[in-house]
A and B are shown apart, each in its own frame.
Chain A
Amino acid sequence: MSSTTSSAPPVPPADRPGAARAGRWKVLNLVLELRAFIALAVLIVVFGMLSDAFLTVPNLVTMTKHVAINAVLALGMLLVILKGGIDLSVGSIIGLAGVIAGELLGGMPLALFGVVAYPPVWAVVVLCLAVGAAVGAVNGTLVTRFRVAPFIATLGMLYVIRGLALLISDGSTYPNLGGSPDLGNTGFDFLGSGRPLGLPTAIWIMVMIAIAITVMLRKAPIGRWLYATGGNERAAELSGVPVARVKVWAYVISGACAAMAGLIMASELTSAAPQAGESYELNAIAAVVIGGAALSGGRGTVRGTLVGAFVIGFLADGLVILGVSTFWQILIKGAVIILAVVLDQSQQRFQRRRAAVSAVAAGTR
């Protein structure tokens, strides 16, 4: 029985039988724990050796910019997965956010006054984020108030929102979101093409969201509540955790993150297609899972999720640079996702076994 007041004198590691073995275990465990980081490092080294173009600063910046969109999605997804849910609607929210931005930048007819309003870019951004958050609120309400399983609720919303995007846009793309100086609504391309302090805006947005969510998870009660709700919802409820509110917030933030991703995409292309972001929800889930989160909830970190997004992004871009066929790219991505989960499982088994064996060693000493 372990105790806080152990009176056994510490034994120098070298005197312990099996110390070398224990050392090897420590290394192996560290490798397993940092597997996502190591995978990322391996990717960078291998692609760097195979292609001169890969390990250049401009290319790394470009790839990171690609990563940013998926990372922003994945960070929102992480919150939903932590509380034990899933959000399949984020890909469609990307489409909807772009369409709404396109609609607003193209002029908002106010029938009542007989004029067309052109809201400034900041208002467009705020409105789009609000729409994303509102979709999340609907997801959350379906899951909490109406007790629809998260998978089903957000699967339904995946179609509803995509349909809405197609309806609003009538299926066509909004070209040229650049705005016009006369109307005072220029600057939308800043999100996708701006480079404050030399780095693309998308990267800054990713960093800021990552910091904000890290702080939220670590320093705010709602962070603790998310982990608790995902770990054991009944215990959380009995402990007075506002479980329903926590869940709704997770979907709201996920929805807002998705809208942000949609804005970045539309801004990069200065055009918005209602089909944008199709199947992006799966990339986001994959990033969260590769980052070591448990789909059953209660376990996962911002850092892991970011690394997961980088692994997926660098892998995809690296394969493109090497000229590997798209079909192979898809296959390889699938294999990486499965491998990540297999390693996660074996790490957990490994830790249990190691604890067992070291306790035997301690007992026979």
Chain B
Amino acid sequence: MIEARAVTKVFDGTRALNEVDFRATPGTVTALFGENGAGKSTLMKILAGIETPTAGRVELDGEPVAFASPRHAADSGIAIIHQELSLCPNLSVVDNLFLGRELTGRGGGIDAKGQRERARAVLARLEEDIDPDVLVGELRLGQQQVVEIARALLQEARVLIMDEPTSALSAPEIEVLFRRIRELTAEGVAVVYISHHLDEALEIADEVAVLRDGNLVATAHARDVGLGWIVRQMVGRDQDELFPDHAPRTGEELLGVRDLMVVDPGDPERLAVAGVSLTVGAGELVGVFGLMGSGRTELLEAIAGRIPVGHGTVHLRGEPVDGLRIRERISRGLVLVPEDRQYDGLVPTMSVGQNLTLASVRSYVRRLWLSERAERGAVTRAIADVTVKTPGPNASITALSGGNQQKVVIGKALLTAPRVLLLDEPSRGVDVGAKADVFALMAGQAEHGLGVLFTTSEAEEALRVPDRLLVLARGRLVGEFRRGEITREELMRVADENGRTR
């Protein structure tokens, strides 16, 4: 049994964890819930010896342990599947599976045959048809995640921590994973399970623990509680308050996309977007629901001018914008809030204020030079408008929580005074409270007459947020619904049926 006792961890001046007591018992699955930034990943990293607690201790079978390194923790029987894939794309599947713990044969060389056999066996157990000799970089994301899981299984750990193991998995792959988890707990392994998909985590869990703002606020037996309870514990309020009230009100057409085709940037022989037509009117909040690989990101990036369009046209307020660069589209009022804010949204070396004004910096030039006053005014307004919680405009952007960073990225887009706002998965990696703010912000912009087009892979959001919902599967629109027209089950069926055969 592994146990955290009064563990406190501080990063960049914020308490990620505050005297948390947490335990994982052999033979059970403990699901750990919490908003983003609640401290789930930090707690798991401490258990796995990747981070050391600022205060408090970790006990293994009642004995205090201080892991010197992740390796030390692994040798003590603790395996972790990371939220971010931690594989080397330039190495083969086998090499990744045994990285750092290679099987050696006579003379100290790598036992390639033995490794390959064991790799085949573990991949077969996960019912995944992956060639162990193929490079990890050539696998699709879901398969990479399976490799990551296989690596943890190979360690035959006593404690297995799974931090968002299913984010890129398909429904059948998740089923297989759950069967394996059941087998492991039957063998007496303690499993800690973290997922943003609350229903999925609740399904596999025996025990439930909820973190909020770094505090452990509740524990329960999984059979005694429901989704509503979990969300209330996570947020401290009801889920219904998450979604904005927005009366559909459609004005003139602002964005018109006709028969758009986009070649998959990762695989030139495949179309990521295969003929999509859509419109967004002034004051309209349009959602695109699509699972991973549906082409939602490519659709928005092509509209924003980031990736080339293979065929079709994009009109903004009746004018074609085809062939224009990103910055020209921005100046005409078309701006994208990207999906991955760390990778595409933020400049980590700059302050909150500088990040906010990055896209609109030219508009603060008075005569020849940047006017500090004009810029400061814009920053102050933006911080208030998008409700960023920050120690000040000069604070480092990295000191903010995920939700506040996302608000900064949105604020940056809004400062360009757009007519059409594109948001790719705006709620990804954002805690529940900030999610509500983000949706309210989107609805508010629509009220002001903007056209808002966003993507989501969360069914609940897709059903509740947009005025009009488009369902994207394999690069094609397979359904269009007004709010309230379909149920969750119907939506999943439409998206799944058309998305299955890849």
Chains A and B belong together in one complex: yes
A→B interface (CB under 8 Å): 1-4, 215, 218-221, 224-225, 227-228, 230-232, 234-242, 294, 297-299, 352, 355-360, 363
A230 contacts across to B, CB distance below 8 A: 349
Question: B401 an interface residue at 8 Å Cβ cutoff?
Answer: yes
Beta-carbon nearest neighbor of B8 in chain A: A360
B401 contacts across to A, CB distance below 8 A: 1
Beta-carbon nearest neighbor of B347 in chain A: A231
- Chief secondary structure at chain A's binding surface: helix
Contact status B347-A238, CB under 8 Å: no
Contact status B13-A363, CB under 8 Å: no
B308 to chain A, nearest CB (A): 14
Question: B109 an interface residue at 8 Å Cβ cutoff?
Answer: no
A242 contacts across to B, CB distance below 8 A: 327
Given A355-B12, A356-B11, CB of A221 within 8 Å of CB of B350: no
Beta-carbon nearest neighbor of A224 in chain B: B361
Contact status A240-B54, CB under 8 Å: no
Question: What band does the interface of chain B fall in when counting residues whose beta carbon is under 8 Å from A?
Answer: 35 or more
Q: In the complex, identify which listed stretch (B119-127, B338-346, B493-501) lies at the interface while the others stay far away.
A: B338-346
Interface hits, B46-75 → A, CB 8 Å: 54-55
A355 contacts across to B, CB distance below 8 A: 10-13
Q: Which of A4, A228, A358 contacts B347 (CB 8 A)?
A: A228
CA distance A358 to B343 in the complex (A): 30
A363 contacts across to B, CB distance below 8 A: 8, 10, 15, 18
Contact status A238-B8, CB under 8 Å: no
- Chief secondary structure at chain B's binding surface: mixed
Q: Which of B13, B331, B358, B392 contacts A224 (CB 8 A)?
A: B358
Contact status A239-B349, CB under 8 Å: no
B265 to chain A, nearest CB (A): 13
B466 to chain A, nearest CB (A): 23
B12 contacts across to A, CB distance below 8 A: 352, 355-356
Q: Which of A4, A220, A298 contacts B350 (CB 8 A)?
A: A298
B454 to chain A, nearest CB (A): 16
A239 to chain B, nearest CB (A): 4
A227 contacts across to B, CB distance below 8 A: 347, 349-350, 354
CA distance A227 to B354 in the complex (A): 10
Q: In the complex, identify which listed stretch (B146-154, B200-208, B362-370) lies at the interface while the others stay far away.
A: B362-370
Contact status A298-B14, CB under 8 Å: no
B481 to chain A, nearest CB (A): 30
Contact status A234-B327, CB under 8 Å: no
B370 contacts across to A, CB distance below 8 A: 218-221, 224
B345 contacts across to A, CB distance below 8 A: 235, 238
Beta-carbon nearest neighbor of A244 in chain B: B325
B340 to chain A, nearest CB (A): 9
Contact status A299-B391, CB under 8 Å: no
Interface hits, B458-490 → A, CB 8 Å: none
B204 to chain A, nearest CB (A): 31
Given A1-B213, A360-B55, CB of A239 within 8 Å of CB of B412: yes
Question: B390 an interface residue at 8 Å Cβ cutoff?
Answer: yes
Contact status A238-B361, CB under 8 Å: no
CA distance A115 to B423 in the complex (A): 67
A134 to chain B, nearest CB (A): 25
Contact status B54-A232, CB under 8 Å: no
Contact status A241-B327, CB under 8 Å: yes
Q: Which of B13, B346, B359 contacts A359 (CB 8 A)?
A: B13
Contact status B343-A234, CB under 8 Å: yes
Residue of A3, A218, A219, A232 with most partner-chain B CB within 10 A: A232
B213 contacts across to A, CB distance below 8 A: 1
Q: Which of A224, A231, A297, A359 contacts B14 (CB 8 A)?
A: A359
Contact status A236-B358, CB under 8 Å: yes
Interface hits, B1-43 → A, CB 8 Å: 8, 10-15, 18
Beta-carbon nearest neighbor of B371 in chain A: A219
CA distance A234 to B362 in the complex (A): 19
Contact status A232-B10, CB under 8 Å: no
CA distance A297 to B354 in the complex (A): 16
A215 contacts across to B, CB distance below 8 A: 369
A359 contacts across to B, CB distance below 8 A: 10, 13-15
Residue of B18, B330, B359, B392 with most partner-chain A CB within 10 A: B359
Question: B416 an interface residue at 8 Å Cβ cutoff?
Answer: yes
Interface hits, B363-382 → A, CB 8 Å: 365, 368-370
A359 to chain B, nearest CB (A): 4
A306 to chain B, nearest CB (A): 21
Given A234-B343, A358-B13, CB of A2 within 8 Å of CB of B389: yes
Question: B285 an interface residue at 8 Å Cβ cutoff?
Answer: no
Contact with A along B128-159 (1 / 0, CB 8 A): 00000000000000000000000000000000
Contact with A along B389-430 (1 / 0, CB 8 A): 111100000010100000000001000100000000000000
A235 contacts across to B, CB distance below 8 A: 338, 343-347, 358
Given A224-B361, A363-B18, CB of A240 within 8 Å of CB of B326: yes
Instruction: Identify the 6 closest CB pairs spanning chains A and B, nearest first.
Output: A240-B327, A298-B349, A231-B347, A231-B349, A239-B359, A219-B369
Q: Which of B344, B368, B369, B390 contacts A234 (CB 8 A)?
A: B344
Residue of B326, B335, B343 with most partner-chain A CB within 10 A: B326
Beta-carbon nearest neighbor of A227 in chain B: B350
Contact status B14-A238, CB under 8 Å: no
CA distance A358 to B354 in the complex (A): 26
Beta-carbon nearest neighbor of A299 in chain B: B349
15 A–B contacts from the bound complex (CB under 8 Å): A1-B213, A2-B391, A4-B390, A230-B349, A231-B347, A234-B344, A236-B358, A238-B338, A239-B330, A297-B349, A298-B347, A355-B10, A355-B13, A359-B14, A363-B10
CA distance A16 to B397 in the complex (A): 28
CA distance A220 to B362 in the complex (A): 9
Contact status B389-A4, CB under 8 Å: yes
B15 contacts across to A, CB distance below 8 A: 359-360, 363
Question: B210 an interface residue at 8 Å Cβ cutoff?
Answer: no
B234 to chain A, nearest CB (A): 15
